[in-house]
Structure 1
Amino acid sequence: MTTDRMPHGKSVEVHGIFQKIADYYDLMNFVMTLGRHGRWCREVAARAAPPMGGQLLDLATGTGVIALEAARAYPTVAVTGADFSAQMLAHAKAKPGAEAVRWQQADAARLPFDNESFDAITEGYLLRNVEDLAGVLREQHRVLKPGGRLVILETCPPSGPMKPVVEWGIRTIVPLLGKVVSGDRSSYAYLESSTRAFESPQQVADLLTRTGFRDIGWRKKFFGTNVILWAVKAR
C-alpha cells in the first residue's frame, strides 16, 4: 500500500497475518519446502531476465528473497521490492545486500507506479492472498513494458492420484509446523486453507491470457504443491 492507504476487506486479515509472521517467515519457508525455497527464488529471478540497465519490480517481496536474488544476478538493473507489510520490509532491509534494492510499501491492487515502468515483474505467494485476482494481474500488466516478462512463484492446489495424500499433508503438517516453529498455528492454518482453495496453474494461465499476456508456461514443484509460472506482455 502507499503510505496513505490502508488495507481493506480480506486485505486487512492478510495484512495482519503477514505482519505477525514476519519474524519467522524465512525459517518457515525453509522448513516447509525442505530447503527448496531459495532455489525456487533463484529460478524466478533467472526467468525474469531483464535487460541491462532495466527496471525489475518484485511484488509481495516479503523479506526480499527474490528481490535480493535479482539484484545479485543483474547488477546493472534497478530492482524495486514492494510489499504491503512494513514488518516484512523491515526484515528485507536488514539483510546483506539490501542497499542494492529500492524498498517500497505498496498495495498490489493499486500500484503507485506509472504505466509501462518495468521491464520485468516477479512475485512470490501474492495471488492466493488477494481479493481481486484479475484486478491485481491487470495492475501488473499496466506497469509492465510491452515484451516484459512476469514470473510468479505460487502455491498450487494438489491434483492427480496423490491428491488425497498431499491434501492430508498440507492440512495437517503446515499448521503443525507453524505451531512447532513459531508457536502460531492459526496463521499457518490460514495459509494451508488458502493453498488448497487457490486456482490451478491452468486457471491462472487462462486469466493471464485474458489479461493480455502470451507465451505462458509453468513448472510444478515439490509434489505439485508449488508452481512457477511465466508470461510475456504482448507487444
Structure 2
Amino acid sequence: MSSHDQPSLKGREVQRTFDKVTDYYDRMNRLMTLGRHAAWCRDVAASAGVPPGGSLLDIATGTGVIALAALERYPGSAVFAVDFSERMLAEAANKPGASAVTWQHADANDLPFDDESFDAVTHGYLLRNVDDVERVLEEQHRVLKPGGRVVILETCPPRGLLRYPVSLGVRVMIPLLGQMVARDRESYAYLQRSTLGFMTPQEVVAILRRVGFVSMAWKKRFFGTHMIISARKR
C-alpha cells in the first residue's frame, strides 16, 4: 500500500471540515465574495478552452459550480468532477443539469485517470488544502493531453496598501459569517487561516514551471485576495 492510499492527517481534517460545511458552502461563498464567486467560476471555465467534443476534469469540485459552468460553456463536451468529500459530491449531483456530469470520489494526490485523458483541468480552492502542491500539480500535468490547459482559482495573501485592512477584514469576517450563517465558527476559522496563509501567484507559477507547464498567466480578484492562474502543458 502506498502512502497515498490513505489521506494524511491534514487530508482527513480537511475532509471533515468540508463534510461539515456542505449545507452552507454555496451561501457562504456568495457572502464571503460579495456575490462574485459564481462569476469567477464561469471565468475559470471560459479560460479552460475546451475544444468541441473535448473533455474537462474539475478537481475538488465541491458543490460543482465550476463543473456546471463548464458544461454550460462547452455543451457536448465530457465533464468529469471529482472530490474527496462524499457529502459535497452528493450536494453537487442534486443540482439542475448535474446528471450530464460524471461525479466521482477521488483524491487529488492520486487521480484515477489514465495519462493524457483530458483537454483541460480546473480547480477552485484545492491547492491551499493539500500537503504537497507540487505532487498534486504533477498529477494534473500527467492527466492532461499535450497542449491542454490547467486553470486554478485560489485565494492569495493581499499585498500592498490594502494588505493590513483586507487581512483584518478576512480574519474577522469569515469566522463571524461562519458563526452567523452556519453556526460553525471553527470550520470557517480554518478557512480563514488557509486563505491568508496560502502562496502568492508567483510562488504557484514557479511550481507550475517546475512540473513542466508553460504559458503561465494570472489575474487577481477581490482586493488581491483571490487569483485565477492558467498554464498549458507543452
Q: Shorter chain as normaliser: what TM range?
A: over 0.9
Name the structure 2 match of 1:8: 8
Name the structure 2 match of 1:195: 195
* Cα shift readout 1:117-169 (whole Å, capped 9, x = no counterpart): 00000101000000011000000000011100000000111111111111101
Name the structure 1 match of 2:206: 206
Structure 2 distance, partners of 1:34, 1:166, is: 14
Q: Shift of the alpha carbon at 1:8?
A: 2.3
- The yes-or-no answer on 1:156 pairing with 2:156 is yes
Name the structure 2 match of 1:77: 77
Name the structure 1 match of 2:51: 51
Name the structure 2 match of 1:145: 145
Name the structure 1 match of 2:178: 178
Structure 1 distance, partners of 2:197, 2:73, is: 34
Amino acid of the residue matched to residue 24 of structure 2? Y
Structure 2 distance, partners of 1:180, 1:220, is: 28
Amino acid of the residue matched to residue 143 of structure 1? V
What 5-or-longer segments of structure 1 have no aligned partner?
none
Name the structure 1 match of 2:112: 112
Q: Shift of the alpha carbon at 1:7?
A: 2.1
Structure 1 distance, partners of 2:195, 2:82, is: 22
What 5-or-longer segments of structure 2 have no aligned partner?
none
* Cα shift readout 1:4-41 (whole Å, capped 9, x = no counterpart): x5422210100000000001000000000010000000
Count, aligned residues: 231
Percent of pairs identical after alignment?
Answer: 60
Structure 1 distance, partners of 2:115, 2:177, is: 41
Amino acid of the residue matched to residue 196 of structure 1? L
* Cα shift readout 1:170-201 (whole Å, capped 9, x = no counterpart): 11111101101100000010011111111100
Per the normalisation by structure 1, the TM-score is: 0.97
Structure 2 distance, partners of 1:162, 1:78, is: 41
- The yes-or-no answer on 1:93 pairing with 2:96 is no
Any idea what SS the aligned residue of 2:147 has? Answer: strand
Q: Summarize the alignment of residues 30-69 of structure 1 with structure 2, pairs less than 5 Å apart.
A: 30-69=30-69
Any idea what SS the aligned residue of 2:82 has? Answer: strand
Structure 1 distance, partners of 2:87, 2:161, is: 40
Any idea what SS the aligned residue of 1:161 has? Answer: helix
Name the structure 2 match of 1:20: 20
Moved more, 157-166 or 17-26: 157-166
Structure 1 distance, partners of 2:149, 2:80, is: 15
Per the normalisation by structure 2, the TM-score is: 0.97
Name the structure 2 match of 1:223: 223
